[in-house]
Each structure stands twice: as C-alpha cells, then as structure tokens.
Amino acid sequence: MSPGRLLSMVSPEEAAAAVCDRLAAVGSERVAHAQLPGRVLAGPATADRDSPPADVSAMDGYALRAADAPPPGGDAWLPVAGEVRIGEAPPPLPTGAALRVFTGGAVPAGADAVVPRELLEEEAEPGGGRGGRIRWLAGSPAPVVGRHIRRRGENARAGDVVLPVGVEATPAVVATLAAFGAAPPVRRRVRVAIRVTGDELHAADAAVLPPLGIRDGNGPVMAAFVAGLPWAEVVSIERVPDDRDATTLSIASALEASDAVLLSGGVSMGDHDHVPAACVAAGCTPVYHRLAMRPGKPNFGAAGPAGQAVLGLPGNPVSVLAGLRVLTLPALRRLAGFAAPQPPRLRVAVAPDDAKTLPLWHYRPARIGFDGRAHPLAHRGSGDVAGPAAMHGFVEIPPGEAAEARPRRWFA
C-alpha cells in the first residue's frame, strides 16, 4: 500500500495484509536444544549425515540373498549364521545362509532382501547360540530383491536442507532437528504489550463491583491468546482509563518495550474512544480503521514508529476473539518470522442454519459437531460471551452469501 493511505471498509484479509506489509521479523538467537519446541526457525536445518546412515532393515526378520531362499512350503531349511546387532557394523553374510536382523539394523554386505520373521518357521540353535535355521511357511511369498530394505540416504543426503527458514518447531519439526542434530538459530519471542481501555473496567477477579462496573474480560482473553503462541510472550498488561493523555502515555510505554501492542476498546465513534488519536500522538501510522466485518467493524490497525504492530480491537468481547484470530494472528506471525503470515487455510462444511446473509465478512462462532460440520452457535451479539463459550472457532461467511452454500474458511 502507499504510505499514509488509510484503508476503510476493506476485507479483513486485505487489512491484515496491509499491516503485515509494514512489519519485519524480530531478531534471532540461539537456544538450547530443549528450548527449541515452539520457536520459529531463523536459519535452515541441514542434514549432517545421510538418513538412514546405511542400508537398514525395515523389519524384524532375516537378511539374505533372495536367490538362496528355499521354496516356500518345502522341507528345506536355510541356516542362520548369526545376528546383526543394532547400532553395530554387521558381519558379512556367508553364502547360503541368513543373518537375523532387527528393525533399523544394518543390512550386511551381500544381502539383497529382508524377510519378516512372521513369514517363516524359526528353529533356534540347540544350546542357546544365535544361529539356528529358518524355512518358509506354506503360503508365504518368496523373498523379493530390495524388499524391506531402507536405502542409505533415501530420506535425506548429508548437506540437504531438511527444514527451511520460517517454520515453527512443532513435534514433527523437533523430530527432524533431533535426527540431524540440528540447532539452527530461532527468532526471539515476539513481545506483546496489552492495553485495555475503559472507565467501567475492574479486575477480572474483583469479588465486588460497582453496580454498573464490568469485569475486564478482554485483558485475560488477549493474554490467553498470546499464551497459546509458544513463540510469543506477554511483556506488559495495563488497564487504561478513557482519557486521551493517559491512553497516549500508556501506548507510548507499551511501544518502548514491545513488538506488538494489542488494545481493546475505544475505537468506535464515542466521545470517549481515544485509541486511534492516542496511537497517532504516540507516533504510530494508521493503516486501517473500520472494516467490512462483523463482529469488529470499528477495528483499528497501525504500525508503530519502530515497526511494531498496533492492533486496536473493538471492546465487545466476541469482537476481540474474532479480531485476535483474523487480524492479530497474521501480524504476530509476520513478526515471529513465519514464512507465511496467514496460517494454513482450512475449510469446513457448515450445517444448515438461518440462511442469513450480510453485506460484510461475517465471522460466526461455531462448534464442530460429531457430523464433522461447523454448527454456528446462537448468541446475542458481540457482547454475549456466554453463548460463544462453547465455540471451536469462527466460520467466515463472505458478503452476501449464505453460510451453508459451500465449505467455508475456518479460523480456529
């Protein structure tokens, strides 16, 4: 986007992309191997050796030359000359014999097939030695050259890039890092400051409230959202009164020590909605204000003076939930150094519903039923937190469309 052009009534996707365009990944650091899970790779991981490191057996059984095997179901036995110990160099395979091998054990030189033991009748060596003999059960297939052997380097060759930059160290990624002893640099955690505006707000654990006071739900919700992102951390959380100067000061202090500032409330048309002006006073550049979405039309997004993401979410609690998932997550992922700011796009079928259409991008709290479809949850507007409490995520319904017409994007 051109600098200074304020987007208004665009789609949430366009708004999120416009903020992401102004952000860069945070710096990187090295952490101990045990601290890697959940972090985002800032450097590629390469294979330090071939995987597997040798031709290995894929089965518990016997390594042999396929041509040495007697016919299945016959009386002839094949001698077992010994055993390959896992993790050790195998003895050579004598002609006309088999070697016992276990899954992952190296295939001895001379063997061209592995036969799983359940296809065989096994006879132990008298006296408890590691030898013995085998013959093929009736109905077992004859050995096939190459079967049940994993070839050296078939997963990866030494020097191959096995993980690119910008992926999160999920359990599967951790498995790969461990297999190759790789510990690439990772992005430091994204530092998130939370600011909750509203004169009516009191602590979430307040036992007694003034008659028209409200417990702050948005602060805990925003903190819980960040707590669910292993590559981000909350660095400060503050409640701010509906006062322009106090809001400016609080945003300025948030910007000093964070990569992202998440705010709730104070972004619509009220006389006491100070967040957009306070952000500007604190040196931020507005990117969007008011979006074609429900809930969350008043959403405000800006870039901080040092490239921070600044996201002003409307005060209604369901708007906060939607704004976190739809607008905040892409910005935080961009800061965290993900290759793609948008998480993978998932689509779900939507159960038949009230067929309501809106001229906006509609995010409906929904629950995945036992039928595998998303069932929109009844709720009384974006101030109703009890109704959506059972939600698994939001179904996105584009402007003018009925929810169940086709599979819909799913924001969990």
Ligand X SMILES: Nc1nc2c(c(=O)[nH]1)N[C@H]1C(S)=C(S)[C@@H](COP(=O)(O)OP(=O)(O)OC[C@H]3O[C@@H](n4cnc5c(N)ncnc54)[C@H](O)[C@@H]3O)O[C@H]1N2
Residues that bind ligand X (CB under 6 A): 196, 198, 200-201, 214, 216-219, 264-270, 273, 295, 297-298, 314-317, 319, 382-383
- Decide: is 218 part of the binding site for ligand MOO (CB under 6 A): no
283 binds, among ligand MOO, ligand X, none (CB under 5 to 8 A by kind): none
Query: Residue 251: which residues within 8 A CB-CB, separation 6 or more?
Result: 195, 261, 263, 275, 278, 279, 282, 284, 310
What DSSP letter does each residue of 341-405 carry, written as one string? SSPPPEEE-B--------SSEEEEEEEE-TTSSEEEPP-SSTT--TGGGG-SEEEEE-TT--GGG
132 binds, among ligand X, ligand MOO, none (CB under 5 to 8 A by kind): none
Identified binder of ligand MOO from the candidate list 197, 308, 316, 328, rule CB under 6 A: 316
Rank residues 118 and 354 by Cβ distance to ligand MOO and give the closer one.
Answer: 354
Least distance to ligand MOO, CB of residue 323, Å: 8
Residue 26 tokens read as 């945070």
For the sheet with 260-264, list strands across it. 232-240, 190-197, 260-264, 309-313, 300-303, 285-289
Residue 306 tokens read as 């040092």
Nearest residue to the partner ligand X, using Cβ: 315
Least distance to ligand MOO, CB of residue 311, Å: 14
Q: Is 131 helix (H, G, I), strand (E, B) or coil?
A: coil
304 binds, among ligand MOO, ligand X, none (CB under 5 to 8 A by kind): none
Query: From the DSSP assignment, how many helices (H) and strands (E) are in the chain?
Result: 7, 26
Q: Which residue has the tokens 């052997």?
A: 149
Identified binder of ligand MOO from the candidate list 11, 247, 250, 319, rule CB under 6 A: 319
Rank residues 297 and 392 by Cβ distance to ligand X and give the closer one.
Answer: 297
- Decide: is 247 part of the binding site for ligand MOO (CB under 6 A): no
Least distance to ligand X, CB of residue 196, Å: 5
Residue 357 tokens read as 């259409």
User: Residue length, the chain?
Assistant: 412
- Decide: is 382 part of the binding site for ligand MOO (CB under 6 A): yes
Contact track, ligand MOO, 259-298, x by CB under 6 A: -----------------------------------xxxx-
Q: Which residues bind ligand MOO (CB under 6 A)?
A: 294-297, 314, 316, 319, 382
